[in-house]
């Protein structure tokens, strides 16, 4: 299990490095955002995804697993300045879908109560975040944190 986690972490780092290189060289806003995330997360287990980040764009996000244990978070930034977190409670798994200048769409993977963390069967829920020019608003409801028999959740 630890070997699989180590391989997964290495893959995330490789993808993150590729995405960063594709965005081009040094990005002061990205560095400021990463410094903020580093203060929020311990150094072990952290897997921060930069694939949504676009160099030079006003509204950006970093997302990933803060503790390396299905502790999914989304950090939202405007000009590299932290403006919010998707939720005060983490999610099991978050996937980037698309973005434009002012909107970022993420898929929250949903679990049924009997699902193990490896294998969600509850589908997914798209949640869009939009920068209005003054604040970030969530356009869609965040799925419930915990699954019940009647509805899936961000955790089993």
Q: What is the pLDDT of residue 70?
A: 87
List of the chain residues with pLDDT < 50:
1-25
Q: Can you count the helices (H) and strands (E) in the chain?
A: 2, 8
Q: What is the pLDDT of residue 64?
A: 87
Residue 98 · residue 105 · CB < 8 Å: yes
Q: What is the pLDDT of residue 44?
A: 66
By residue count, the chain amounts to 156
Q: What distance in Å separates the CA atoms of residue 116 and residue 134, rounded to the nearest whole number?
A: 40
Q: What is the pLDDT of residue 19?
A: 45
Number of domains in the chain: 1
What's the Cα-to-Cα distance from 70 to each of 56, 57, 140, rounded to whole Å? 30, 29, 22
34: domain range? 2-138
Within a domain: residue 111?
A: yes
Within a domain: residue 147?
A: no
């Amino acid at each position: 299990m630890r070997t699989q986690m180590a391989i997964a972490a290495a893959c995330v780092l490789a993808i993150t490095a590729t995405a960063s290189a594709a965005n081009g060289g040094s990005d002061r806003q990205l560095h400021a955002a990463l410094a903020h995330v580093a203060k929020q997360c311990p150094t072990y287990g952290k897997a921060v995804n930069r694939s949504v980040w676009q160099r030079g764009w006003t509204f950006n996000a970093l997302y990933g697993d803060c503790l390396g244990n299905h502790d999914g978070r989304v950090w939202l930034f405007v000009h590299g300045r932290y403006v919010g977190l998707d939720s005060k409670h983490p999610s099991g798994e978050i996937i980037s879908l698309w973005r434009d200048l002012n909107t970022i769409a993420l898929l929250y993977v949903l679990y049924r109560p009997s699902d193990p963390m490896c294998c969600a069967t509850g589908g997914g829920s798209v949640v869009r975040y939009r920068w209005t020019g003054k604040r970030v608003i969530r356009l869609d409801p965040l799925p419930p944190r915990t699954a019940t028999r009647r509805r899936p959740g961000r955790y089993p």
